[in-house]
Every structure is written in structure tokens, then in C-alpha cells.
Amino acid sequence: MSSVRPTSSAGDPDRLRDGVPEFPDHPTLTQIAQRQMQIDTWDAMSVDGYRFAKPGAIISFLLTAIMVVLVLTPIPPNWPWDIPLCILSIFSAVVMVVCGLLWLDRPDSGPRPELLEIVPFTRAENLQLMSGQGAEPYGAICACPGCGDECTHLVRRPTDSEPDWATVTRCCRVCNREWVQA
Ligand SMILES: [Zn+2]
């Protein structure tokens, strides 16, 4: 059956004819789903960042502090344990610096993409689009030219203001787009 139209905005020939009133953009279901994925990805990048960085920096800071205190003070265990503790505290300090830098580093993923929503078609907009619509044969199942929805569309007889050649007017339940078929 007919495929989902890629866009209903800038490239829409209906919209580019002279004298067409300015109608809002109508994103398709595919575009809405794609945008939702972009937003989910953006959220995951911005909120999570480096998950291990914050706990890593805090834990390694505490370990380093404890080991330095043990090495520098007469609190047991003392020599010869001071030497491996000293080496470990150096490693721990390096981990602390690395995790701290990652914690402060926020991945720059630009501004959050805006959520797309179905913008219902108005009656005036539907009439305008119908008047410029090419002949289309009736099909039991077809994609809505507004949003791409392929579920069963409401069907009714065309009114006088709709194209003469039409035998049936379909209405999309999702976006209220109406178009005619013969
Ligand atoms: Zn629709």
C-alpha cells in the first residue's frame, strides 16, 4: 500500500502554491517517533554523563584521605605497612583526579530537541488541501497524507464544497486530516 509521506511541511506542493494561507506544520507519526528517540538520547547523555565519575571521585577521595592519615600518623598499622599504603594512596589520588575531572565534564550535546505533537487539521485547511489534491483511487487501507496513520479511517459522502470528482471523503482519526478518493 502507499508509503508514509516523508514530510508534510516545507516540501509539500500543496503548501507552496500562491495564495495559500499560512497553515501550521503537521509532523507525521514517523517524525514524532524519530524526535522522541532524539530526545531520549539527549536526556540519557545530559543527565547521566559519566555515571561512575561522582561515586568514583568521592570514594577515592575518602580512601586517599584515610591512607594518608594512616601513613603520616603513629596510628597502627605502622611500618612496614606504611610503604604499600603510601603507594596505594598515590594510585587512589590519581583515580580521584581522573574521576573528578570526568564529573565536572558535562558532555555538550546542544539544546534539547523540541517534542513534536500531532497538530489537528482544521476544516479550512482540509478544504484548501482537497481543492489542490490530485485524483486518488479508493483504497481500503491507505496512509493518511497528514500523519501517515494507516488505521481504519472514517469515511463519509463528500459535501458540495469538496471536489466534484470525489465519491468518498476519508477522515483520519489521529490528525483530523480529510482527503477525497474516487
Ligand atoms: Zn492523520
- pLDDT tens for the chain, 182 residues: list them: 444 444 444 444 444 445 556 789 999 999 999 999 999 988 887 766 677 888 999 999 999 999 999 999 888 888 888 899 999 999 999 999 999 998 887 667 788 899 999 999 999 999 999 999 988 999 889 999 999 999 999 999 999 999 999 999 999 999 999 999 99
pLDDT of residue 4: 44
pLDDT of 49: 66
Does residue 34 lie within any of the structural domains?
no
What's the confidence (pLDDT) of residue 167?
A: 94
In a domain, 40, yes or no: no
CA distances from 101 to 1, 50, 54, 64 (A): 54, 10, 10, 17
Ligand 1 centre to CA of 177 (Å) is 5
> What is the DSSP annotation of 25-51?
----HHHHHHHHHHHHHHHIIIIISST
Q: How far is the CA of 66 from the centre of ligand 1 (A)?
A: 65
User: Whole-angstrom Cα distance, residue 173 to residue 152?
Assistant: 8
* Residue 152 counted as domain residue: yes
The reply to whether 57 falls in a domain is yes
Kindly state whether residue 81 falls inside one of the protein's structural domains: yes
Quote the number of domains for the chain: 2
Instruction: Answer yes or no: is 168 within a domain.
Output: yes
Which residues on adjacent β-strands are paired with residue 171?
154, 178
Q: How far, in Å, from the CA of 4 to the mean position of ligand 1?
A: 11
Cα 31 to averaged position of ligand 1 atoms, centre (Å): 13
Residue 7 lies in a domain: no
User: Smallest Cα–Cα separation from 17: which of 124, 132, 123?
Assistant: 132
Domain span including residue 170 = 13-26+119-181
CA–centroid distance, 28 to ligand 1, in Å, is 8
Dist. CA 176 → ligand 1 center (Å): 6
Contact 64, 98 (CB under 8 A): no
Q: What is the pLDDT of residue 7?
A: 44
pLDDT for position 61: 96
